Amino acid sequence: MVPVAPPGVPSTLLQRRPDIAAAERAMAEANAKIGIAEGAYYPDLSLSALGGYAADPIGGLFSVSNSLWSLGANVSATLFAGGTRSASVRAAEFAYDQSVQTYRQTVLSALQGVENDLSGLRILAAQAQVEARAVADAQSALRIALNQYQAGTVNYTTVVSAQIILLGDQQAQLAVQQNRLLASVALFQDLGGGFQASALPGAGAIQARLPFAP
């Protein structure tokens, strides 16, 4: 039995695809690196002050000046390395922009693939109906030819010709059915897995959102 293609497939099903999930994780990681790079602008003042006190061998003598010296050195180092940190932020932002573009391209390619699969399945479904009618007509023609042969009004060549036509139509019908099965497999692959028909929106809901949907 050939799976019936739904009239519409929610785009959320694409989140199961490994390539989309990987691109999404890469984008989130690149976004987090921007925050890390920006955080490098700010020194950890509490740790610097604590380090200044701990390094005082006289046990707290001139502790205020020591802590200020430590704090000043830390801030000076941060300001001195500001160009490097600014470049790191720009590099992180550039990497994030690239990851966003990769994610968008991955999603668009996935959507295009699914739409092509659904379109192909709709075309094959129409072809299957045509082939079914052709087989039914060929079977009817064969019955008529057999009746005529039994009545002696035609020779057996007419029966053989009708059988050949029926066989050709049946082969074409099987070819369409095979193509529908292959197209269904391609759809499941592009969706990142199968789906439950009960979880999909019905034709009425799709028609309400997309008035021009078939």
The per-residue pLDDT for range 19-68, each reduced to its tens digit, is 888 888 888 888 888 777 766 655 544 443 444 444 444 444 444 444 44
Q: What is the pLDDT of residue 2?
A: 58
* Eight-state DSSP code of residue 210: -
* 73 pLDDT more than 90: no
Distances (CA, A) of 12 to 6, 159, 163, 198: 15, 55, 49, 15
Q: What is the pLDDT of residues 7-16, one digit of tens each?
A: 555 566 777 7
- Residue 127: per-residue pLDDT: 95
The pLDDT value given to residue 212:
35
Q: For tokens 């790079």, name the residue.
A: 37
> What was the pLDDT predicted at 31?
83
Contacts of 168 (CB under 8 A, 6+ apart): none
Task: For the domain made up of 11-194, give the CATH fold.
Answer: Outer membrane efflux proteins (OEP) (1.20.1600)
Q: Which two tokens stand for residue 198?
A: 């009960």
Indicate the pLDDT class of residue 192, thresholds 50, 70 and 90: confident
Q: Residue 149: pLDDT above 90?
A: yes
Q: Give residue-wise pLDDT tens across range 91-140.
A: 888 888 888 888 888 888 888 888 888 889 999 999 999 999 999 999 99
Task: Say if residue 9 is exposed, middle or buried (CB neighbours under 10 Å; 0-12, 13-18, 19+).
Answer: buried
- Is the pLDDT at 18 greater than 70, yes or no? yes
pLDDT computed for residue 130 by the predictor: 96
To the nearest 10 degrees (0 to 180), the angle between helices 82-151 and 63-80 is: 50
How far apart CA 101 and CA 29 sit, in angstroms, is 14
Query: Phi and psi at residue 104, in whole multiples of 5°?
Result: -60, -45
- Give 195: exposed, middle or buried? Use CB within 10 Å, 0-12, 13-18, 19+: middle
pLDDT of res. 8:
57
* pLDDT given at position 208: 46
Model-level pTM?
Answer: 0.59
Higher pLDDT, 177 or 63: 177
